[in-house]
Structure 1
């Protein structure tokens, strides 16, 4: 993020200086040399930011320095915007009164520029390693998507879930029959639910199948509307919860259905009751399949059967990692990297999402040194992320080019599980100057390429 900001400031500073020369806008005495000095400082800072970004996860002082640097960069961009506006106004005045000789406008060195240089000078205190002399390996333009025809290591889990959904391991009782899959983030709960939902026996067994991504917050109106749309196979135009509930009861009355509620977080019993009462008119044999990270959710819903989803076995973890990381590599290269690959896969601790993410990262690395750098990274030693972020995911993030990091981080402004429209996202990146281009077509191409990395 800081790298991108510094690059943007450098680009805009150069552009404004070129504008003031072209438009005969003058700078106060000594400012031109100060700007050149500032440009040199920006270049020097940019050279050490890669190392700073790596170290900030363990060193609070580095993190604080980067935050101050970013604050100053934002202030500098505001000043440069003001300069550009002033130059534009000067240009318009010249057009409106061509007969009048242009009056030169003088700019002095603003305080944010001075403060930035002061903060930048602190970089010497950290002994950062410069990336200028390092030859970066050529990065393949790849996508994170890969066609995995088999889900590794979940055969037994799938069988158990199917038995409970199809009634082979349970007796029918009054009340809703709820099967809950519980596990930490990235463990593969949604994948297991999809396997069951799309199984040929499940398709034949139920009259209706409904998939709803619930997420947080739990909104009964939104969930009910999603159920209606899934049942009708078309958009729903009802805007009242009561009307939605009646519609659901009409559609599923007497039918045997499977309702998947993916990614449930709420522990609020009253919210759950609003949905529960709506689907109470189901036929015997109906099932609700829930995925959640929270066992309190399981208790609140009065789950009939809870399935705790554990990590992948070691052999399956390695097999999944090899399938992705060795894609496109010849047999000789695979043999050379296999031992290191085993150790990297084991560090993912059986977490499927981490294995897939790191596997995709290693696909673009082709020599032993690059693989050893990942294996020996300091990130693996961090314990501050707990169950929320795997070090493998953090490694993948740190390996992104600075401009891609910025685009990726920007997506955090969207609510969880919201639908992000591709064109709108690219336009938002453009508005933030994250895509360095001088033409709309080029911007669109860069945006598409960024989304596919």
Structure 2
């Protein structure tokens, strides 16, 4: 989970070493200077992280540098969490009535020992980070504090004509959108209709199909097409609109002159404007542009294509059009065109059967269907098709010019804290119904949710994170309660593939297909049936000593767990979900897990009473 994660961790470290935190740990004499030095080092590294995370895709050396940095950053984060826990423990003990224990705990020898021990650790990690940072100059990384959205694919202002026969399965969509655009029983002169859907569904292709329709050509006096992408600058967009209207390149002039030229061009005319690939979610910037476009004659329309439901909600003046995947028939028709010579279905029924299974994987996304079909076009035998389905299909989305890089454009637009939250969702298996409340609690336990306003609570901010990912189409099939509140969701299979790709080896779901775990893995979930005769999961648990999450996802777990042994090897755990486990031995050792924030022992029928040691988990919240 490299991309965006280190930036988020660095921001958290810098925040935890702010003035208030420094004041709180001033009692730990001898460490304040080292903490200041650590903060300076992390701040310097933070300045180049965004550029490094972008360059790692193409530069192997940068990727290796980030891996070394990742380990050191996590270690620094764990160390600072020790400080937070220590501060909470002191606060708790000062409120405790056991005065003798408090005096012993705060004795000079005790404080001196702790300060010396932590001082050495801080110095060691700071020197390690300094050493890693010293090599950053070799990569000529750019400085910059602001997160700049990564645009993996540049879009040209122009658009290609879409032949009707080139778009399969969108006849009904085209008809419905055209009917909405030509609706006459409305009061406003200019209406705005967004087409919204995940990347690869063909929103732009549909818009082009509509734009070039003969009925549309006759209906509108003026038609304009602008590709907006991530650079939402009013002046640039106005220039593009004028360029499309006049079909000529404009000289660079001031915004006031451009506005006058725009009004001269569109005011009083019934126009159609397509704003393709809109990402901007700032309502003020949108309204600034919208104000300039309201002078069109009655019947003028603006068609917006976007991957973000939030953008659609901001821009629309009539109900948005949600573009869905192709149906089974249309999906197969498109696949046949791409996978078979001259679009003629294979005479081998087994190849047809395999092809249908592959098409189902594409869940109606035209770009995915086209990509897979193109690859299979060069495979002739049944053996090759079967090998592709069984071996290459799971890796297909990691290749250049495939659907995953296209979907990844949506991921690249996320701020770092949402990248962290989204990648974490790869812990859940495909088609898993995610409970919103639980997910937010898990994010909180990992420290992903940051408060910019101390008057707000983490749960409310977590709700905003969740809704932001839902609006951006990373979540789907939102489930509502009887009050209309969203309580859960699922993740589209292709989006889940994206989450796994960006998470890398730091997050692992143990299921029937995944049986190995990297020793550096930080987050683990179990989604398979483990018998009492199998010690595989427990062996893997001992291996992942840096694990922060162990999440059991409801499949009955028959293995007996010796908590003393497992907890000793997982001292950095923040989330521990052991619900529906048959037997937990030596549970009293849970007091060792001082970083733990979230615990779930529900459904453990053999646990009559939680051990007293659980009261030592002072960081525990849920």
TM-score (norm: length of structure 1)? 0.51
User: Residues 369 and 395 of structure 1: is their aligned pair in 2 closer, same or farther, counting only changes over 3 Å?
Assistant: farther
Matched with 2:282 is: 268
Alignment match of 2:296 (pick from 277, 282, 289): 282
Give yes or no for contact 1:357–1:392 (8 Å, CA) kept in 2. Answer: no
User: Residues 166 and 229 of structure 1: is their aligned pair in 2 closer, same or farther, counting only changes over 3 Å?
Assistant: same
Alignment match of 1:357 (pick from 371, 394, 397): 371
Partner of 1:187, secondary structure, is coil
Matched with 2:37 is: none
Instruction: Give the Å deviation of 1:305.
Output: 2.3
User: Residues 148 and 192 of structure 1: is their aligned pair in 2 closer, same or farther, counting only changes over 3 Å?
Assistant: closer
User: Residues 305 and 212 of structure 1: is their aligned pair in 2 closer, same or farther, counting only changes over 3 Å?
Assistant: same
- Partners of 1:178 and 1:213 in 2: CA distance: 16
Matched, 1:157 2:173: yes
User: Residues 369 and 329 of structure 1: is their aligned pair in 2 closer, same or farther, counting only changes over 3 Å?
Assistant: farther
Structure 1: runs of 5+ lacking an equivalent: 1-62, 73-145, 381-390, 399-407, 417-453
Partner of 2:165, secondary structure, is coil
Partner of 1:229, secondary structure, is helix
Give yes or no for contact 1:298–1:306 (8 Å, CA) kept in 2. Answer: yes
Matched with 1:240 is: 254
- Partners of 1:200 and 1:157 in 2: CA distance: 16
Partner of 2:320, secondary structure, is strand
Matched with 2:3 is: none
Instruction: Give the Å deviation of 1:392.
Output: 5.0
The structure where helix makes up a greater share of residues is: 1
Q: Deviations over 1:186-205 (max 9, x none)?
A: 01111111111010000000
Q: Deviations over 1:257-276 (max 9, x none)?
A: 00000111111122112211
- Partners of 1:396 and 1:370 in 2: CA distance: 21
Q: Deviations over 1:63-95 (max 9, x none)?
A: 9xx9579869xxxxxxxxxxxxxxxxxxxxxxx
- Partners of 2:208 and 2:62 in 1: CA distance: 45
Q: Deviations over 1:275-328 (max 9, x none)?
A: 112111100000000011111112212431211111111111111101110025
Alignment match of 2:398 (pick from 394, 401, 409): 394
User: Residues 351 and 239 of structure 1: is their aligned pair in 2 closer, same or farther, counting only changes over 3 Å?
Assistant: same
Q: Deviations over 1:345-404 (max 9, x none)?
A: 111111111001111111111222221122113653xxxxxxxxxx65436769xxxxxx
Instruction: Give the Å deviation of 1:243.
Output: 1.1
Matched with 1:337 is: 351
Matched with 1:311 is: 325
- Partners of 1:302 and 1:173 in 2: CA distance: 15
- Partners of 1:179 and 1:318 in 2: CA distance: 30
Matched with 2:438 is: none
Matched, 1:251 2:251: no
- Partners of 2:344 and 2:354 in 1: CA distance: 16
Give yes or no for contact 1:357–1:393 (8 Å, CA) kept in 2. Answer: no
Instruction: Give the Å deviation of 1:149.
Output: 2.3
Matched with 1:194 is: 208
Matched with 1:213 is: 227
- Partners of 2:399 and 2:163 in 1: CA distance: 23
User: Residues 377 and 70 of structure 1: is their aligned pair in 2 closer, same or farther, counting only changes over 3 Å?
Assistant: same
Alignment match of 1:375 (pick from 363, 379, 389): 389
- Partners of 1:208 and 1:316 in 2: CA distance: 33
Partner of 1:174, secondary structure, is coil
Give yes or no for contact 1:321–1:356 (8 Å, CA) kept in 2. Answer: yes
User: Residues 284 and 181 of structure 1: is their aligned pair in 2 closer, same or farther, counting only changes over 3 Å?
Assistant: same
Q: Deviations over 1:99-156 (max 9, x none)?
A: xxxxxxxxxxxxxxxxxxxxxxxxxxxxxxxxxxxxxxxxxxxxxxx98824211111
Instruction: Give the Å deviation of 1:161.
Output: 0.2
Partner of 1:177, secondary structure, is strand
- Partners of 1:324 and 1:378 in 2: CA distance: 18
Instruction: Give the Å deviation of 1:171.
Output: 2.2
Count the aligned residue pairs.
256
Matched with 1:77 is: none
Superposed CA RMSD in Å reads 3.3
Partner of 2:264, secondary structure, is helix
Partner of 1:289, secondary structure, is strand
Give yes or no for contact 1:361–1:396 (8 Å, CA) kept in 2. Answer: no
- Partners of 1:281 and 1:330 in 2: CA distance: 51
User: Residues 331 and 161 of structure 1: is their aligned pair in 2 closer, same or farther, counting only changes over 3 Å?
Assistant: closer
- Partners of 2:305 and 2:251 in 1: CA distance: 28
Matched, 1:230 2:241: no
Q: Deviations over 1:185-240 (max 9, x none)?
A: 00111111111101000000000000001110211111111111111111010332
- Partners of 1:291 and 1:316 in 2: CA distance: 22
User: Residues 328 and 319 of structure 1: is their aligned pair in 2 closer, same or farther, counting only changes over 3 Å?
Assistant: closer
Partner of 2:321, secondary structure, is strand
Instruction: Give the Å deviation of 1:175.
Output: 5.7
User: Residues 378 and 234 of structure 1: is their aligned pair in 2 closer, same or farther, counting only changes over 3 Å?
Assistant: closer
Higher relative contact order (CA 8 A, sep 6+): 1
Structure 2: runs of 5+ lacking an equivalent: 1-55, 66-161, 414-622
TM-score (norm: length of structure 2)? 0.38
